[in-house]
């Protein structure tokens, strides 16, 4: 992600005498609508300073930036005077708009003017300041870099075009997804099927909505004044990462069968998950710090084009290996859950590979002048795909043969209250979880407290336990719907 392309106004810069060439900022201009308006002021005793305009051809900016073997004159020599790439800040150069004014005992050169940019395609332009021959640099300036006069383009660098519109669109879509998840959760709660993993999905979707809201506010302010509020953008990135991490953890837990085939994760599994998510979170933090402190504003870089970024891609692939193993183990012990796990595994295999593939394509396959807007759309599309797929395969409907949950939340408490090692961590076998939604047109009181299991005897597999018992007492299912289940005389009643 690129830093802001317009520096705050009214900068006063003083460099040591040995510093005779310095980079100021960069901006991606359109082919025929780009414009630079400037105000420069500096003491006449510091004359004569130049504003240099480089573009992104290999013979221009890449040939001078971070090239210590080239001196100031050599860096100026690559510019083409016929293209008006040098603005000489003196009264001798008419187009600079410079006049001399007095402030006390000191004469000041004040220069007010502008430049329009024309090119065959969108280009990155890099603005530098020079004063070859020694004496040091000192400058107070205000610059306004724009692309046309539209609210949606004026203050945006060309590589940022469409980001605000894209974020608004995805905000509406994700808000719809979150609203649907709340509606489904309401139905699931009524049937005591609102499990922890579904709550994690809702959390990830809700945090994603907040992230996009902050991004939209940031870009809206940026569209108004060309500066925006950087804190909003940072907050949006943090929430975006939190949403991703919660969703990733949910996928691994579901792969291991949590709330689908088992009531809890083993101690060793919990420790491994904790370590992995801690490492993933720390790597994300390192990526944020690296981007803020070490990314060079003189280069167009992508967040994943860094050691921390490549580390995140490696952790993503490691998570996929873990995910594969967990799903295979769950299917081995619960083959009847294939209607859920097979589409679940296929859909999220694509998701696991989409993130690192997107990062590699962004680093090596997308032009730098179009990278940010394209990557933003792809990244949001990947997140939307993941959320919509989960919303579809967990929808509470009788027609949904992929529905994963079949044990009610009230029954999980009974399983968890049993001593460890008694075989109660795993759920009883059941082919589908959508039987709770069959016959929604009329009440089904006989299944209110039912728990489905495979009995070793030849009795019917559908059992019931009484709401009057502290512990369930299993008895044969009564076929007559008008007769409610009763509790047998036992010590538990």
416 shares a domain with 388? no
CATH number at residue 70: 2.60.120
174 shares a domain with 53? no
CATH number at residue 249: 1.20.1070
Q: pLDDT tens for residues 175-186? A: 999 999 999 999
166 shares a domain with 76? no
426 shares a domain with 382? no
171 shares a domain with 123? no
Q: pLDDT tens for residues 105-135? A: 888 999 999 888 888 888 899 999 998 887 7
Across 192-199, average pLDDT = 90
* pLDDT the model gives residue 391: 95
Residue 83: inside a domain: yes
Residue 196: inside a domain: yes
Residue 483: inside a domain: no
Other CB atoms closer than 10 Å to residue 146's CB: what's the count?
A: 22
* pLDDT the model gives residue 225: 86
Q: How far apart are the first and last CA of the chain?
A: 64
* pLDDT the model gives residue 256: 92
423 shares a domain with 346? no
* pLDDT the model gives residue 471: 37
177 shares a domain with 259? yes
Across 386-407, average pLDDT = 87
Residue 207: inside a domain: yes
Across 385-395, average pLDDT = 94
* pLDDT the model gives residue 15: 54
Residue 413: inside a domain: yes
Is residue 210's pLDDT more than 90? yes
The pTM for the full model equals 0.78
Q: Considering its fold, how many domains does the chain have in total? A: 3
464 shares a domain with 338? no
pLDDT band at 410 (very low <50, low <70, confident <90, very high): low
Is residue 198's pLDDT more than 90? yes
Across 231-239, average pLDDT = 94
Which of 117, 147, 177 corresponds to the end of one domain? 147
Q: Using CA atoms, how far apart are residues 288 and 73, in angstroms rounded to an integer?
A: 37
Residue 255: inside a domain: yes
Which of 147, 180, 214 corresponds to the end of one domain? 147
Give the domain extent around 134.
Answer: 11-147
Q: pLDDT tens for residues 482-491? A: 444 444 444 4
Q: Using CA atoms, how far apart are residues 338 and 204, in angstroms rounded to an integer?
A: 25
Q: Smallest Cα–Cα separation from 226: which of 148, 171, 114, 141?
A: 148
Q: Using CA atoms, how far apart are residues 154 and 148, in angstroms rounded to an integer?
A: 5
Which of 147, 170, 205 corresponds to the end of one domain? 147
Across 286-309, average pLDDT = 81
């Amino acid at each position: 992600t690129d830093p802001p392309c317009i520096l705050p106004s009214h900068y006063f810069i003083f460099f040591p005498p040995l510093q005779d060439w310095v980079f100021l900022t960069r901006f991606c201009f359109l082919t025929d609508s780009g414009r630079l308006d400037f105000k420069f002021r500096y003491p006449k005793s510091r004359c004569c300073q130049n504003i240099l305009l480089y573009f992104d051809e290999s013979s221009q900016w890449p040939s001078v930036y971070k090239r210590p073997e080239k001196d100031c004159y050599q860096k100026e020599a690559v510019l083409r005077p016929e293209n008006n790439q040098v603005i000489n800040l003196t009264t001798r150069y008419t187009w600079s708009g410079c006049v001399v004014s007095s402030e006390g005992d000191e004469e000041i050169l004040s220069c007010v003017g502008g430049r329009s940019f024309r090119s065959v395609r969108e280009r990155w332009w890099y603005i530098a300041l020079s004063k070859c021959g020694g004496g040091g640099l000192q400058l107070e300036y205000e610059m306004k870099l724009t692309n046309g006069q539209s609210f949606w383009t004026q203050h945006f660098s060309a590589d940022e075009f469409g980001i605000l519109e894209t974020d608004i669109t995805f905000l509406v879509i994700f808000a719809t997804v979150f609203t649907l998840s709340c509606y489904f959760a309401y139905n699931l709660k009524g049937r005591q099927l609102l499990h922890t993993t579904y709550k994690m999905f809702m959390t990830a979707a809700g945090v994603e909505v907040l992230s996009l809201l902050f991004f939209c506010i940031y870009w809206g302010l940026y569209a108004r004044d060309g500066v925006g509020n950087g804190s909003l953008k940072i907050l949006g990135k943090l929430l975006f990462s939190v949403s991703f991490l919660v969703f990733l953890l949910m996928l691994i837990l579901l792969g291991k069968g949590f709330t689908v085939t088992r009531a809890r994760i083993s101690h060793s599994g919990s420790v491994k998950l904790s370590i992995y998510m801690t490492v993933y979170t720390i790597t994300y933090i390192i990526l944020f710090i690296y981007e803020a402190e070490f990314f060079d504003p003189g280069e167009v870089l992508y967040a994943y084009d860094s050691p921390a970024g490549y580390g995140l891609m490696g952790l993503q692939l490691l998570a996929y290996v873990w995910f594969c193993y967990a799903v295979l183990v769950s299917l081995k012990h619960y083959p009847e859950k294939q209607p859920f796990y097979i589409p679940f595994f296929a859909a999220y295999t694509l998701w696991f590979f989409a993130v690192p593939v997107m990062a590699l394509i962004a680093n090596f396959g997308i032009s730098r002048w179009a990278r940010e807007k394209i990557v933003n759309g792809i990244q949001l599309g990947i997140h939307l795909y993941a959320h919509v797929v989960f919303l579809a395969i967990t929808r509470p409907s009788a027609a949904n043969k992929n529905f994963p949950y079949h044990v009610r939340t009230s029954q999980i408490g009974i399983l968890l209250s049993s001593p460890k090692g008694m075989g109660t961590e795993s759920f009883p076998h059941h082919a589908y979880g959508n039987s709770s939604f069959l016959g929604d047109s009329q009440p089904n009181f006989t299944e209110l407290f039912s728990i489905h299991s495979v009995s070793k005897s030849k009795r019917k597999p559908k059992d019931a336990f009484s709401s009057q018992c502290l512990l369930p007492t299993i008895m044969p299912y009564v076929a007559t719907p008008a007769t409610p289940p009763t509790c047998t005389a036992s010590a538990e009643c």
